[in-house]
Structures are given as structure tokens and as C-alpha cells.
Amino acid sequence: MITKITGENIGAPNAPYYTPIQDPPPGTSLSLIKSQSNDTESPPLFTPLKLRGISLPNRIVVSPMCTYSAHDGTLTDWHLVHLGQFALRGVGLIFVEATAVTPQGRISPNDSGLWKDEQIAPLKRIVDFVHSQGVKIGIQLAHSGRKSSTIAPFILVKGHENNVKIPNLSPEEYGGWPNDVVGPSPIPWDENHANPKELTIEQIHEIEEAYVAAAKRAEKAGFDIIELHFAHGYLAHEFFSPISNKRTDQYGGSFENRVRYGLETTKKVRQVWSEDKPLFVRISASDWVDNGEGNSWEIKQSVKLSKLLKELGVDLIDVSSGGNTPEQKINLDNSYQVPFAEEIKKYANIYTGAVGLIRDPQIANNIVTNGQADLIFLARGFLHDSSWVIKAAEKLGVLIQTPKQYHYAIKKILISNSIK
């Protein structure tokens, strides 16, 4: 197989096919488009960030996005194309969707998983392609707790074809496990979710070890970054919040007890994850429930937790919110979660990522410029337009590197537009 061509056409190392080495990597700021900018430096959104041994060319991240398209937890060519497209569009970092560490930890029967060795190779295929394009890739490890065994949102359930409210619960006939759903306490998320069984201490430790095993498999697959999913009402968040955690043992009651499971999991993963590779944690900064101080999960507790996570070797807090109760009342608007990221960055003194309805490039750039967050995570914005980064760069007046196979054409378009 051809892996390189003589002369200047050097192929990407370790690729089983010829693809030119991408140096500098896509997304790297090359020069300013003078007619659009009076600045002499690249906008902060397009400046590099170094985390441990990993360097990102810009601050734009493809956020983990559930696509409910895996088979028995195993990813397919769908995921290769879905994630691979972003490696051709100048992003700084790509994340694989929430990947369950146990079969019962999946949100739906169609979720990504990493609980067995057979799931490594399909993931490595994706990692190898992304790396061949000079781009970094991470994986989000998760356990959905009491929100597991649900129906994928686009599946029509028999008998509900004309019903706007599709049931959340995935019965066994749809591949679900409604009688094997677990949580910190036997409290269902709502009447359309399963009744969870309260985890024993032994089971809690087993799930922690499942994270460790998944992290080791992620290492074998070649991932650059692991993110632990402790948000959106999934298992760790369920332990954190008094709304869903009514335990009276060492994993319930006080703040210290409620965060114990998350901290133990983090410590164990950090110990087996390469020292030169970053570890992220996604949290929900607030339950968005106003029922009195200390009766739900709030930003003050999130700051306190973030400090503890930093002490354990976490490099960045990916700051989201909500998802733990249908009683939440979210003030939904553009950049509505950014103040949470800003507060955690300021008071926990740790890198943060901002996520949530950030679609305008200027707003994204302002968030980094103002020191509110260090990375910008986009999800729906990329589903709407996979070329968001290229268009953002043009809007902000900067020429970025794109894959060599595309770059000569894109550069001509940008230069042509700047002359008009």
C-alpha cells in the first residue's frame, strides 16, 4: 500500500492509504484577511491552546452528540463519515458521542459503548482517520443511570404513531432493559422512565471500575482526550443532586458524600490515563430548580466540585446545565450557560468550555476574548453547517489552514471575496 509519494508529497504517517500530511493542521490561523480586519493578530477564537501534551490549533470543539446509530454499542461507517467530515473542516478537536462503560449504562439500545474489547477496532478506525488529517479526537465516557433504557428520539413506537408525546421508556421488545435500570436512589426521572434500583456500594465500585476498563480501551484506540460525562441528569449528576440522591450512607447526604462517586471515578481514570493526555469532565452547573438553597444542585456547588476535580488532575470543565429533573425551568437564550463557565473558570481557577446555543462566530470569539471560557463546544451548529469553522474564520477576517486537498480552492474563494 502507498503511504507516501516522493518529493514534497509526504503521506500522513501510519495511514493505510495515501493522504498528504497536514502540516500545519487544519484550523491553524495563517494570516489575516486585511480588507476585513484592522487587527494585527488572529482573533482569540483562532489561537492555539496547549493542554498537557496536546496542542489544539484553535478553540472550537465538536461537542459529543448522540446519534443513536450504534449496534450493540459498536460504531459503524455512519460514525466514520459523521465524525470524519469535521476533520476536513478546520475544527480544533472532535469528540465521539457519549459512550457507555456498561451495556446498562446506555441512554438507549442504539448508543455507543466501550465495555468490551471488540468495540475498540471500530473506534480506532475513526481515530486513525481523524489523526491522518492532523486533527485531535476525544471520547466522552458515560453512564446514564436512571435515564437509561430509553427510546431513540427518531424511532416511531407502535401504537404512538400519531401521538406527539413518544414514551421515553424502551421496553425489552425494543432492545431495552427496563428492569435493570439503576440510580443512586429508587426515584424515576418521570413517569415515562423506568423505576431505578438503588445501587449497592459494591455495584457503585463495579461501575467505577468499568470506567477504568473503558479508559484503558480508549488508550488502545488512540484517543487524545477523555471526557467524563457527569452532567445532564446521568449517573454522576444523579449522585451530585439532592433531588435524585436520597441515600443515607457514605454516598448521600452531605456535599462531600454526594460527590464521592464522581471523585472516586475521576481519580481512578486519571491514574490509568496517560499523564501527557488531558482529562475533561462535563458537569451540569445547575439543576435550574429554585426550591431553596441546598435542596438542588447549584453553581456554588459546581465551583466547589471543580476545585476538587482540578486537584485530581482534571484539565478542563465542560460546563453545561440541567437535565436532572422535568421540573427544571431554564432561562433559554443565546449563550445562556456561559456565565456558569465564567464563574467556574474564575473561582476554581481551571480551564472551562462553554456550550449551548453558541452559533454566532462573533459571540464565540467574544467569549474567549473576555476570558469567560477557553474552548467553545458546538453541536447543533455543526449539524446545521459542518463548515461552521471555515465560515467563522472568514467572518472574523482570518485565513485558516484547511486540508491540502481543499485549501487551494478555499483560499482562492476567500481572496476573491476580499477583493470585491
- How far apart CA 39 and CA 94 sit, in angstroms, is 29
Other beta carbons less than 10 A from residue 104's beta carbon = 18
Which DSSP letter does residue 226 get?
E
- Whether cis (ω within 30° of 0) applies to the bond prior to 24 is yes
Residue 374: closest CA among 346, 334, 402: 346
Whether 225 contacts 136, CB under 8 Å: yes
Active site residue 234: yes
Residue whose C-alpha cell is 470585491: 420
Q: Which of 68, 211, 234, 251 is catalytic?
A: 234
How far is residue 152 CA from its own chain's centroid? 19
Q: Which residues does 103 contact at the CB level (< 8 Å), separation at least 6?
A: 73, 113, 115, 177
Q: Answer yes or no: are the C-beta atoms of 310 and 350 closer than 8 Å.
A: yes
DSSP 8-state assignment for residue 373: -
Rounded CA separation 84/73 (Å): 19
Q: Quick count: other Cβ atoms within 10 Å of Cβ 67? A: 17
Residue 244 CB coordination number (10 Å): 27
Q: Work out the end-to-end distance of the chain between its first and last CA atoms, rounded to an integer number of angstroms.
A: 45
Angstrom distance (rounded) from CA 414 to CA 221: 37
Residues recognised as catalytic: 234
